A and B are shown apart, each in its own frame.
Chain A
């Protein structure tokens, strides 16, 4: 890689001596501000996208927290501190946060559609909203997959522990039987044969793990609809969404001169999604820009 910035400055200073039509008296700062005023909705879109991004990151954090909680439950680590949540509580939090993100994505999609309807599909803010929306939908899906994987790993770990405990009491259980047992939720399968300290301990462990698994499956069941909604979301967008070439080529050629006019913004009526999305905050921020 070759850096040629210094060379450029050289050429610049060499040519400063020449009188050229290219040089005028407008300073750079003036030029920048002489440009058409920035689109206030652009700021709003990017802000919202960033917020959603942070929410998705928060879900990822909660998944890590869940991993720890699951691990602790599995290894019977002494009673967790007051501030630490158990798996079910975290599961509920993840579900609610996921649903909230999905809602915000739907709103972003509506906003994008509104922008497209009013300004056409080659409007930069509309396209930026599109790109962000697609990327965030993907990110949500990834984080949901990560949640599923975490729970499935835990399920597998519980299953293995049950198997080991059974071996301890001399009961070898095959894969199929194990699954059936876990699915049926029969907790007292061995109660009649439990004798002696080791066996008793093994039984308690098994009972614990089975309870774990049942709760886990309930969590997954509870979040099934969210999985489905996210899958529908990404399916709608098509498979080649990540392809940069496709993203660039999809943009329409601008046929007429398009100059962004600030007064366009004031013609939007009260019922439009912009205002719903940005409610009270954005206009103040926009004035700063």
Chain B
């Protein structure tokens, strides 16, 4: 059962005709709910307002409340406080915890006055964000710091336990009991993998249907660390989603732009999620194809509605909107994506085209013709000396140069590069990468570390998009059962794979989000990848590409504590050697 069904079902289960309820959430549960339900979904199930448990709320004593919260002290105490005084804040309480409530907190609730008005109390085991159909997040942007900060983290054990529990609820929801593997090297990978195994087994005891089905025995869960591929999160990507999130200011998946609709010119906010069918179609496409595709689709649409226009472009759209307002939804959608694509291209044409060329050459170690890069320093110096290029762009180039060298660079050389680029203030970003196990200073920490050998790729690509994330190789190898067992050990020896088993002809998978078509939940193996420290947009794209290449036989899911953009990754790195913000 997918998260949407669970969450919607939870609210539906306490619905009473003619009675509205208040829904109270904390930060985590709000994020989970928001990523799979819309306001109109919950309104349809009798919720008339959503409140933040940590904000001071006025009583609405004639209505009952649904508390959808994480079983943590802050939220539980807020719950208890709502019913502490003579006047109750709400008429009654229906409580749904996202995960198992620890005994201590449970007893506190039982002993408090709120217990007298609790009508429902359940644990739903959904402690992750279904961000996209094949991408999940655990909503912890501080994760990189928690794992890799220069100061030892005394709460690390607890954190790993929590993380493991969240991953276990993911598998529980998917009804998977995968074989767990981890990348050998960093200690944390093995620790997390082990902890996940324990949690997973505990969940299976309560829910034996996990992993049921012949093909499910082939499902795998891979734990990998961010340091294993430091290139993908910093490279400039030219596919729509990755490019937009890198170059534009998109917060909480909302894109804002200026437009003239039916009314006067104003700001329009658009949520970029899977309810936008056009976004789903375009998000992994190369930017060169995006504008072409949208224009083509818009033209077809206009023709079918007999909207006469020779050149369907951004200016005409507001005219069309006035003439045929019943197509506002579709026209807005086309308008949004035309604007988004145009905004990307505008920023790109500024200075990025040259930069991307250099980046690709460094990442691939060769130019577009396949000739090995002879003098990398020559290509990067002009970039570093260019005052029009921003500090973070320069840092990305320097890092790519260092990784290109494969064995790190000398401290003096690094100092010179930093000076050329004039990025002294941000230079710790570069050295902090050593905390992730990356080889930065030649002969220094991590001197033995090298980036893995790459699979050969023959598919044709755009010149500035030759790089494929390293995780893509891993995905393909895992599916083909070619993933080296020494480098990627199993926690538990898996059942031998019966090679005479017929391959699954067409596996279908339950979808996180509202089902557009009924889900027939059929068996099919899944490959689930968890990256410690953040996952990049290009890696997310790889999950879809690899899935498609298996013709639907396998489904690849990827996720992490949070989703990176190059800027957020560099910001995370910058903070690694600093004292944490006590407010976080």
Contact = CB atoms under 8 A, between A and B. Distances in A.
Contact of A243 (B38, B83, B113, B328): B38
B50 A253 contact: no
B134 interface: no
Interface string A104-127: 000000000000000000111001
Interface stretch (B263-271, B359-367, B410-418): B263-271
Interface stretch (A26-34, A58-66, A69-77, A86-94): A26-34
Nearest to A26: B86
A204 interface: no
B156 to A, nearest CB: 28
Interface stretch (A133-141, A191-199, A207-215, A273-281): A133-141
A128 interface: yes
Interface in B45-86: 48-52, 55-62, 83, 86
Contacts of A240: 254, 269-271
B115 A12 contact: yes
Contacts of A241: 39
Size range of the chain B interface in the assembly: 35 or more
A144 B100 CA distance: 45
Contact of B252 (A122, A139, A245, A258): A245
B87 A36 contact: yes
Contacts of B56: 253-254, 258
A15 interface: yes
B30 A254 contact: no
Given A1-B124, A28-B116, A235-B263, A248 B51 contact: yes
Contacts of A15: 107, 110-111
A243 B262 CA distance: 22
A247 interface: yes
A287 interface: no
Size range of the chain A interface in the assembly: 35 or more
A264 to B, nearest CB: 12
Contacts of A270: none
B268 A239 contact: yes
Most buried by A among B111, B271, B324, B329: B111
B8 to A, nearest CB: 12
B416 to A, nearest CB: 46
Interface of B: 6, 20, 22, 25, 30-31, 33-34, 37-40, 42-43, 48-52, 55-62, 83, 86-89, 91, 100-101, 106-107, 109-113, 115-118, 120-125, 206, 252, 254, 261-263, 268-271, 275, 306, 321-322, 324-326, 328-329, 332
Interface of A: 1-5, 7-8, 10-12, 14-15, 18, 20, 22-24, 26, 28, 31-32, 34-36, 38-39, 42-43, 46, 122-124, 127-128, 131-132, 134-135, 138-139, 141, 144-145, 148, 179, 224, 227-228, 230-232, 234-236, 238-249, 251, 253-254, 258, 260, 289
5 contacts: A22-B113, A32-B117, A34-B87, A234-B328, A248-B51
Closest 3 CB pairs of A and B: A11-B110, A231-B325, A35-B87
Given A11-B110, A36-B59, A145-B329, 15 more contacts: A8-B110, A12-B110, A35-B89, A124-B58, A228-B325, A231-B321, A235-B262, A235-B263, A240-B254, A245-B30, A246-B254, A247-B39, A248-B52, A254-B55, A254-B56
